[in-house]
Amino acid sequence: MTHAVRARRTLSRLAAGAATAVLLLAGCTGIDPGPDGGESTDPDGSATTAPTEDGPALDELGTSAAQDLDADPAADPGYAEYYGQEIDWGACEDVQGEDLECGTVTVPLVWNDPGAGDIEIAVGRLPASGERTGSLVTNPGGPGGSGVNFLESATFMISPEVRAAYDVVGFDPRGVNRSAGVECLSDEETDEYLAATAEPGSEEAAQLSEEWGARIAEACEAHSSAVLPYLDTYSAARDMDVLRAALGSEQLDYLGYSYGTYLGASYAELYPDRVGRFVLDGAMDPSLSMNEISAGQAEGFERAVEAFLDDCLLQVATCPFTGTQEEAKQQLNAFFASLDESALDSGDPERPITGAMARSVVITLLYEDALWQTGREALADAMKGDGAQLLNIADLSSERQPDGSYRTNATFAITAVNCLDHPGVADEAWVQEEAQRLEEEFPTFGASLGGDGCSHWPVPPLREPAPISAEGAGPIVVVGTTGDPATPYAWAENLSTQLDDAVLLTFEGNGHTAYGRSGGCIEEQVDAYLLEGAVPEDGLTC
């Protein structure tokens, strides 16, 4: 695959999922003592993970409306109207791509109370180009990535052979974009939020984080309070089973990237007997709390920026940095710091490049090594005073359109889901100590990961971190990339070990996820599994 094709594919994909994962860094973050604590119950009925010798307690937990139901909804007469649906496919109004079709499925807002009202889940499909064998449901990640929009890049991400055999189906999970999407800040306020900057780790940065955390939580509650308690991943997994039935499939065939692996594993936990051919690429580890996720990403992005700088220093003609890797890292961080003090001209007088924007751009570049040349050029221009390329990449990442609107609500949907799915450590002093540790050990992005963007969230977390075994689901393919900054390779190892029947494929490379960007090896194995049911050799590395 040529650099030009890979770059074009990646830029089109940013809006679908990878960029939303960047926002996790500004959302509910921290570092965790470990998932092994027992559970106790407070007098009000909320669960709290008890302190253990491994570390302090996590935040108090509420209960997901979708986790424990009295019976299988598919066999419960109370849910018959949902499971009896057929999708009325028609033209897509706001998605680009020939042959794409769109529709909706209706699901209960509150899964343990189907009489409490409905929401519509937006669905899209790219019909099979050859002899159809079934439907392949996809999720691009986030959480917050639009699966309907992801279909615009399906021709770059999914092999022609798979697209010939399957209808490729994407959907916007609940709370995302067209599916009862959460509404929070205005476009103008979102511009202000994404540009807000201060030196990470400083008192000013802590105050800024506190102010924006409160402001966003208040805005989301004001505009979307009716749906905020029901946007957890268990609820989305239940929705996915309704989608499976509406597609006429007895079992769900699934390709999930990044957060999509967490959604897929959650589905397998709830419905192991309905798991068909499952591929989980760029795996999340469901046993991790928000704090452990942050720690893994702090290290992952530090190692990724080192790989980027090592590569840059080899490109003497185009690299804006000099000296050793450590010296180059110091130069990059000095550049960020200079923009915290004085924003850079971007060509748009209303939107100069701030330190926060520049950091987000570099994080975005670390998702795909095919973008590193573009990154070098953009940084070289910026360090000479021209921030136009940085602004262009920033807007691609955040899905900001030329008219100033944002194509989706991914900036806020990610927080709405993460704050329900992942509790953090309740001990404020401990969190502050860990923030200092992250800053010291991972100087480029570690200081940005020490806070808790969920401290003001109006709904408590609903799910305790725990391994998923999905016993009885059959073979599941887990894919990990050794240089993945957003979902570190160890998470793929952990998930493949937790699952009752799984194989692990390893891509030795840089960037986030592997299928569609590994150069052939991972694609060959995954395609044979999806098309023929040939389970790859466990531990295969390429």
Active site members: 258, 484, 512
| C-alpha closest to that of 171 among 67, 97, 241, 68 | 241
Q: What is the largest CA-CA distance in the chain?
A: 69
Buried b / exposed e along 205-222 (16+ C-beta atoms within 10 A): bbebbeebbebbbebbbe
Q: Which is it for strands 275-281 and 166-171: parallel, antiparallel or unpaired?
A: unpaired
CA distances, 397 to each of 154, 324, 368, 393, 481 (Å) = 18, 29, 12, 6, 21
CA distances, 262 to each of 1, 142, 285, 453 (Å) = 29, 10, 7, 20
3-state secondary structure at position 179: coil
Cβ–Cβ under 8 Å, residues 382 and 358: yes
Query: Quick one: 69 exposed, middle or buried, by C-beta within 10 A (0-12, 13-18, 19+)?
Result: middle
Cβ–Cβ under 8 Å, residues 233 and 270: no
| C-alpha closest to that of 26 among 502, 405, 355 | 355
Integer Cα distance of 290 and 59 in angstroms: 10
Cβ–Cβ under 8 Å, residues 173 and 206: no
Integer Cα distance of 435 and 438 in angstroms: 5
Residue 387, token pair as written in the block: 């921030």
Integer Cα distance of 103 and 234 in angstroms: 23
Q: Which residues have C-beta within 8 Å of that of residue 33, sequence separation ≥ 6? A: 52, 54, 55, 56, 291, 425, 430
Q: Which residues have C-beta within 8 Å of that of residue 247, sequence separation ≥ 6? A: 87, 135, 137, 167, 169
Three-state secondary structure readout of 203-254: HHHHHHHHHHHHHHHHHHHHHHCCCHHHCCHHHHHHHHHHHHHHCCCCCEEE
Integer Cα distance of 361 and 122 in angstroms: 30
Peptide bond just before 143 cis, omega within 30 deg: yes
Residue 352, token pair as written in the block: 């100069």
